Amino acid sequence: MPEKTEKQIVFDKVKDTPPLAVSLYTMDYNKTGSWRNVRPVIDYEKCTGCMTCWKFCPEPAIDAEKYEEDGKEKYKPVIDYEYCKGCGICWVECPVEGAIYTEEEGE
Amino acid sequence: MKLTIPEEEIMGHGHLACQGCGGALAMRYTLKTLGRNTVLSVPACCWSVIDGPFPHSAVNIPVFHTAFEAAASTASGIKAGFEIQGKDVNVVAWAGDGGTYDIGIQALSGAAERNDDILYICYDNEAYMNTGVQRSGSTPLKAWTTTTPVAHPKDRPKKDLISIMAAHRMPYIATASVAYPEDLTEKLEKAKSIKGTRFLLIFSPCPPGWRADPKNTVKLARLAVETKVFNLLEIENGLDWRITKKIRKPKPVIEYLKLQGRFRHLTEDDVSLIQENVEKEWNILMNKVGE
């Protein structure tokens, strides 16, 4: 399978297209972060690392970052603003009050 | 804390789904569980657009785009090809509710009757969302769509596809919701281990089509289960019915309806009619479960 790439492929002429309809590249060139009106922000002081936001992100634009603390493996959610469409599911589903808050985009 | 669903992301970002898409969430969970040794057969549905324009693809596994009525028969053919080659690959037919309830039902019925070794997954958003919210066999009673406008909302209840599939006596049938990913991944693991035709119905809210707020996608999927509008169950060999998520205190159906613009025109009589219908369907289901 193709490696992760941010290249967009455009065929100029019909003869440039491959003889078989195969997908060659991922959709990473499509920076869906530009769709966003409202930006979710994680307050790491309140975040407990339950990863509910990561679980319900349909993009997926929340990465589960692994780190070690007191010899235990833990996870931390990190929002990828290049791809976050700002649907707000993480904000509604977060079980800790105030751990995820929203800002108007562009502020 | 430990992660409750598999960590690896196979579905990539940058796909063309709307904000808060339930179908994209369903695909993410499915690929996480089934792994990279999977091939998809996708008919005309939202996912034939979400995947991206040729030669790009958001899912990072082979996808075969096929005609609207042919998801199950294409998957049967792909599976037969792999069997001849001696390869063990999960072949998945991934269709929306239009391609399952209405247009694709003959191919699905044929595959189930032959007991072809495929997994058929229907992500149910209750209308033809991709072409602009037209009524389908899955659209619930009294719902607004562009072909059932407010003056004439849908007068027929949702088709009971699960009973139709159970009548085929196929090895495994299950329903799941995007609000319960642990339950969904468990059912997918089980379906993966069984040979023969397996059918999975995933309830996936559609914010633009349901005229709902994108942030409420998961909330709506959860409320549908909590109000008994959509029940989580599994059926083995078409006869052994089992409820996997028991709801002790069901919420009134109005809590689910009021979050959606497609039900905004409902009168109090309409709401009590829907509530009655939900109770009736629940009793029919209880008779089958035998409780």
The answer as to whether A8 is a domain residue is no
| Window 54-83 of A, Cβ < 8 Å to B | 54-56, 58-61, 64, 74-75, 80, 83
Tell me, yes or no, if A35 comes closer than 8 A to chain B by beta carbon.
yes
Least Cα separation, residue B280 to chain A (angstroms): 31
| pLDDT per residue as tens digits for the range B208-235 | 999 999 999 999 999 999 999 999 999 9
Q: Indicate the residue of B16, B21, B61 with minimum beta-carbon distance to A58.
A: B21
Return the number of other C-beta atoms located less than 10 Å from residue B41's C-beta: 26
Tell me, yes or no, if A26 comes closer than 8 A to chain B by beta carbon.
yes
Q: How confident is the model at residue B286 (pLDDT cuts 50, 70, 90)?
A: very high
Q: How confident is the model at residue A1 (pLDDT cuts 50, 70, 90)?
A: very low
Mean pLDDT computed over B116-140: 94
> Are A80 and B13 within 8 A, CB to CB?
yes
As its CATH architecture, domain B22-289 has 3-Layer(aba) Sandwich (3.40)
The answer as to whether A40 is a domain residue is yes
The answer as to whether A80 is a domain residue is yes
The DSSP secondary-structure symbol of A35 reads G
Q: Nearest Cα to A46, choosing from A67, A74, A76, A71? A: A76
Whether A71 shows a pLDDT value over 90: the answer reads: no
> Are B213 and A93 within 8 A, CB to CB?
no
The structural domains of chain B, with segments of one domain joined by +, span 22-289
Whether A3 shows a pLDDT value over 70: the answer reads: no
Q: Which residues on A lie below 8 Å from B215 (Cβ)?
A: 87-89, 91-92
The answer as to whether A13 is a domain residue is no
| pLDDT per residue as tens digits for the range A31-47 | 999 999 999 999 999 99
The answer as to whether A38 is a domain residue is yes
Cα dihedral A13/A14/A15/A16 (nearest 10): 60
Task: Tell me which of A12-16, B4-8, B149-153, B249-253 is least confident.
Answer: A12-16
> Are B13 and A74 within 8 A, CB to CB?
no
Tell me, yes or no, if A7 comes closer than 8 A to chain B by beta carbon.
no
H-helix or E-strand containing B260? none
Least Cα separation, residue B97 to chain A (angstroms): 19
Least Cα separation, residue B210 to chain A (angstroms): 15
* Mean pLDDT of chain B, nearest integer: 93
Q: Indicate the residue of A32, A51, A89 with minimum beta-carbon distance to B20.
A: A89
Domain that holds residue A78: 31-104
The answer as to whether A16 is a domain residue is no
> Are A87 and B20 within 8 A, CB to CB?
yes
3-state SS class at B203: strand
| Window 215-274 of B, Cβ < 8 Å to A | 215-219
| CA distances in angstroms from B135 to A3, B80, B94, B130, B210, listed in the order given | 40, 34, 20, 12, 12
Domains: count for chain A: 1
> Are A30 and B16 within 8 A, CB to CB?
yes
Q: How confident is the model at residue B60 (pLDDT cuts 50, 70, 90)?
A: confident
Best mutation target among A30, A36, A37, A91 (most B Cβ atoms within 10 Å) is: A30
Best mutation target among A26, A37, A70, A105 (most B Cβ atoms within 10 Å) is: A26
| pLDDT per residue as tens digits for the range B13-43 | 899 999 999 999 999 999 999 999 999 999 9
Question: What are the E-state strand segments in chain B?
Answer: 38-42, 63-65, 90-96, 119-124, 172-177, 198-203, 233-236, 240-243
Residue with tokens 């025109």: B265
pLDDT value, residue B145: 95
> Are A56 and B25 within 8 A, CB to CB?
yes
What's A97's domain CATH number?
3.30.70.3270
Least Cα separation, residue B151 to chain A (angstroms): 31
The answer as to whether A14 is a domain residue is no
